[in-house]
């Protein structure tokens, strides 16, 4: 995800002349695969690549969850950027001396420029990004494909008991669910939040809640969106849901109701949050600071709200009564994390 920084009040850098939000697609769509057989394909090799993410970004959060579910922590190293950005976008200011210890970069933009010297910040510097450690070259920022490939192409290096997130027999249904979720929910909250015309905002708002109502109904008698265990569809929806009440409800004006007021989506989201690999990769501090302090066109005071209370995510959900299992019949959970991924210093007073 690449987001606007320090935009003038009343103007969205991502809105077109009609007032509609427009998302840039991934420009670097190379793939890391088990057996490369053509241009734009890189070999899946442990220790070769570094995954760069923001804990604030829902698109990057997907890759963090999949890396953890697959047990690829030792195969692919992890870099976490500052949730705040400047005019060069994502930066490594959380690391000692503001330099990533592996890539030796101060800005993720440097990996983009190493790949394409003509690539400017105006073309987007987005996370997640996979970077070759030895050369510092950006390999791919193709966020939809990254998670699928982590689940399939890295099979040789995955942990025992890793789930199958994109099973062949369910791919058509998963793709159909993902298509609607992407346009109306994942991207829909941005369409509402960055719209600069009332009509465009209302269109996005209406489509968002129509889709959420449909998903709420779909989840009434089933634990997961597709099949009887977690798939790509659940991961892609979760990263928006977990940010909904903390950010999108107020900051992006998606305020018909809170996630916590949905009959089925709310316990479904809590079920996922309480599943290893999901809640332990969520950082509400990073999330709230990024949206409320970077999007100055929406929140010029940069005040970061204190709520909601994160402990509500740990309340019983009772979704296990619907059957199914998170990791499939033969799957197991990943090992617990040692602690928070990247704590932030206190907010300046």
Q: Which residues are catalytic?
A: 57, 190
Token code pair at residue 329? 């019949």
What is the distance between the alpha carbons of residues 301 and 264, in angstroms, rounded to a whole number?
35
Q: Determine the longest span between alpha carbons in the chain, in angstroms.
A: 55
Q: Which residues contact 68 (CB under 8 A, 6 or more apart)?
A: 276, 277, 280, 281, 334, 337
Burial class (CB in 10 A: 0-12, 13-18, 19+), 122: exposed
In this structure, are residues 304 and 292 in contact, taking their beta carbons and an 8 Å threshold?
yes
Spatial CA neighbour of 279 closest among 336, 347, 331, 222: 336
* Radius of gyration, CA atoms only, the chain: 19
- Of 70, 4, 6, whose CA–CA distance to 300 is shortest? 6
Q: DSSP labels for 61-89?
A: HHHHHHHHHHT-TTTSEEEE--SS-BTTB
Q: Please state the length of the chain.
A: 349
Q: Is the peptide bond before 308 cis (omega within 30 degrees of 0)?
A: yes
Distance from C-alpha of 337 to C-alpha of 286, rounded to nearest angstrom: 18
Q: 3-class SS at 342?
A: coil
What are the respective helix, strand and coil percentages of the chain, to the nearest 5?
A: 40, 10, 50
- Asked whether the beta carbons of 181 and 164 are under 8 A apart, the reply is no
Contact assessment for residue 248 and residue 205, using Cβ atoms and an 8 Å cutoff: no
């Amino acid at each position: 995800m690449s987001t606007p920084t320090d935009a003038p009040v009343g103007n969205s850098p991502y809105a077109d002349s009609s007032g509609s939000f427009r998302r840039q697609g991934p420009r670097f769509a190379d793939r890391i695969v088990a057996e490369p057989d053509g241009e734009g394909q890189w070999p899946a090799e442990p220790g070769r690549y570094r995954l760069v993410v923001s804990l604030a970004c829902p698109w990057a959060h997907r890759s963090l969850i999949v890396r953890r579910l697959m047990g690829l922590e030792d195969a692919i190293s992890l870099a976490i950027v500052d949730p705040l950005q400047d005019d060069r976008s994502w930066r490594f200011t959380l690391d000692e001396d503001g330099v990533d210890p592996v890539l030796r970069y101060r800005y993720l933009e440097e990996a983009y420029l190493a790949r394409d010297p003509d690539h400017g910040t105006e073309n987007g510097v987005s996370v997640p990004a996979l970077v070759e450690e030895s050369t510092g070259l950006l390999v791919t920022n193709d966020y939809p494909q990254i998670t699928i490939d982590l689940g399939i192409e890295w099979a040789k290096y995955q942990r025992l008991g890793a789930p199958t997130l994109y099973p062949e027999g369910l791919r058509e249904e998963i793709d159909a669910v993902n298509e609607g979720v992407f346009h109306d929910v994942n991207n829909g909250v941005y369409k509402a939040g960055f719209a600069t015309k009332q009509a465009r905002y209302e269109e996005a708002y209406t489509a968002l809640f129509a889709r959420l109502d449909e998903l709420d109904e779909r989840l009434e008698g089933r634990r997961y969106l597709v099949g009887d265990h977690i798939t790509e569809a659940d991961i892609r929806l979760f990263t928006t849901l977990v940010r909904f009440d903390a950010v999108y409800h107020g900051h992006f004006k998606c305020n018909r109701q809170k996630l916590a007021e949905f009959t089925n989506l709310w316990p479904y989201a809590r079920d996922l949050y309480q599943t290893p690999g999901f809640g332990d990769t969520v950082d509400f501090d990073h999330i709230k600071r990024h949206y409320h302090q970077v999007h100055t066109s929406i929140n010029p005071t940069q005040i970061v709200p204190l709520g909601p209370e994160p402990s509500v995510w740990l309340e019983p959900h009772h979704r296990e009564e619907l059957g199914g299992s998170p990791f499939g019949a033969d799957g197991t959970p990943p090992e617990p994390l040692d602690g928070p991924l990247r704590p932030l210093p206190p907010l300046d007073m």
